């Protein structure tokens, strides 16, 4: 576990304090709340983010690889 100091907006801080007190009865477990939220990383649609994967041909030159990546990205976002 790494300890660090972060600066939170007042609204975010208040929300995390509130949730920590509701779940754990004190503010000592704010780190758990923050870690849970970062792990879940839910986007605006309410679905967990998924890694986009696609297949590319082997032995590509760098220019061909860029084109293949772009093509795969466009196909996966349609």
C-alpha span between 72 and 54 (Å, rounded): 6
Residue 50 is given by DSSP the state: -
Sketch the domain layout of the chain as residue ranges: 1-41, 51-78
Token look-up 């772009």 returns 70
Q: What is the pLDDT of residues 4-39, one digit of tens each?
A: 888 989 999 999 999 999 998 998 889 999 988 887
Closest CA to 8 of 42, 40, 36, 31: 31
Sorting pLDDT into bands at 50, 70 and 90, what band is 67?
Answer: confident
Q: Is the full-model pTM beyond 0.75?
A: no
At residue 40, the 3 state secondary structure works out as helix
Residue 9 is given by DSSP the state: -
């Amino acid at each position: 576990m790494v300890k660090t100091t972060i600066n939170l907006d007042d609204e975010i801080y208040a929300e995390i304090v509130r949730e920590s007190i509701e779940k754990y009865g004190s503010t000592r477990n704010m780190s758990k709340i923050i870690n849970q939220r970062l792990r879940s990383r839910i986007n605006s649609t309410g679905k967990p983010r998924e890694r986009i994967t696609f297949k590319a041909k082997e032995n590509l030159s760098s220019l061909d690889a860029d084109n293949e990546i772009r093509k795969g990205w466009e196909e996966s976002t349609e």
